[in-house]
Amino acid sequence: MPHPTSLHVDPARLNELQSDYAREFSELVARFHQPGLDTAPELGDRRFAGEGWRNPFYALPAALYLLNGRFLMRMAELVDADAKTRERIRFAVEQWVAASSPANFIATNPDVQQRLVQTHGDSLLAGMQHLLVDMGKGKVSQTDEAAFEVGRNVATTEGAVVFENDLIQLIQYKALTPTVHQRPLLVVPPCINKYYILDLQPENSLIRYAVEQGHTVFVVSWRNPDMTLAHKTWDDYVGEGPVTAIDVVRDISGQSQINVLGFCVGGTLLAAALAVLAARGQTGRKSPVASVTLLTTLLDFSDTGVLDVFVDEPHVQFREQTIGGGLGQPPGLMRGVELANTFSFLRPNDLVWNYVVDSYLKGNAPQPFDLLYWNGDGTNLPGPMFCWYLRHLYLQNELKQPGAIQTCGVPVDLGAIDAPAYVFGSHEDHIVPWTSAFRSLPLLGGERRFVLGASGHIAGVVNPPAKKKRSYWRNDDVGVDANDWLAGATEHPGSWWTDWSEWLARYAGKRVKAQKAYGNVAYAPIEPAPGRYVKAKA
């Protein structure tokens, strides 16, 4: 009897793969052994786009590497195993292939060698200095972090903090129009990142765009926990986060209903909060929210994309015992740098080895880029909160099951969320596959619209209309499966923001004169936006 971890590959398919490899190998060698060949053919990979790679001495090993990498990935797909095991094999092979590129080593990278000669060795010295700095940080630097400062040239939309507790600051933004919609908009960003991904620069800020459309916008700014908050739980994040924020925004605005938006994990927390409010009897005839927007959000964790390779019972138990407060151990923190490194290695060539080569081997200083600055400005998570999230949502997928979990002392049923919902997915999202975002639709109780944007998890969301980039798909028939929905969808050029803005206006109430003051008597301004919490480093 084979060992339960034994892996099997169909011999017929393996023979076919070997035949294909032999044929392509022969064709490759033939191309590089043409009489009088002085310049190698283009390799079609940007890692080998430099002039030095046109030399056959360097190009042939690179071409062989690309050939071997392709076939290793194809072989990983041939393994006869369950989907999770096959995905883990594919992920491991991808990491090995990415790390073994000839571009990653001085001895096999002609561009690095040329740079070394031109600088008389200074490039290598600078690269070693960059490496030592990054070793101290525990991560590969992707941008010049000194070029940015939160509140100075990122997160600059004008506003004020009007409420704070242990876990959040609530920011209210200054109106940019003479009149505003009666119902405000509350934005709940992910707690695993800083909120200013939605407010990087004025020209690509979703927050500023919503303010310009006449909405009074409030945003949750999550605290970056230290060890004094290591005991915080999922219930704390739901209760002290969106549940409290909804109450405060309703109080400040004087409106019984508001509009809410959740992004990524923020959307998951928001949905859980709305289900808690429903279970407490605050929905029924009069929901506290007039509409719900969920951007690249998981409610059904059946397919969690590449992240699934990290989640199984042994891993969850390990986290529970080390940072979750299990086995009598004190709770700890899931460090932001570990989360950031994990997400970077989901795209190893783009977010890891590209910077290793440019910074360590060529000695170039990282260039300023606001998105990558945000990407490296990580946040910690309390161990108990992270472990609960990992077990009950990622591992056991209980959020979608009515009454399967309790949050804030009440059973959670997403079907009790009866407000109209705008659900958005990104077509190339590797963190929240768009088909998984689509699975949120049948879990919600109100009217629903699904919109699919081009690009990935961040670029698909942050796509301002003024840039006239990308496109989005819309199909109002949401009672079909994801593939049928896409087959019947119409592609529209440009940003989904305009579609969402028109949809949101239907639930935002009439226009009234904009208030000049922040907060109210009960919630006086505490400090100017972006506030202290977002500036704390992990």
Residue 529, classed as helix, strand or coil, is coil
Nearest to 102 by CA among 25, 30, 50: 50
Residue 456, classed as helix, strand or coil, is coil
DSSP 327: G
* Helix axes of 11-32 and 56-78: crossing angle, nearest 10 degrees: 170
What contacts 157, CB < 8 A, 6 or more positions away?
173, 199, 202, 205, 207, 208, 211, 529
416 CA to centre of own chain: 27
| Parallel, antiparallel or unpaired: strands 406-407 and 410-411 | antiparallel
Residue ranges in 119-228 assigned as alpha helix (H): 122-137, 206-212
The set of catalytic residues is 264
What contacts 179, CB < 8 A, 6 or more positions away?
214, 511, 512, 513, 514
- The burial class, CB within 10 Å (0-12 / 13-18 / 19+), for 9 is middle
- Other Cβ atoms less than 10 A from the Cβ of 5: the count is 7
Residue ranges in 289-378 assigned as alpha helix (H): 313-322, 336-344, 348, 354-355, 370-376
Task: Pull the structure tokens for residue 4.
Answer: 């339960």
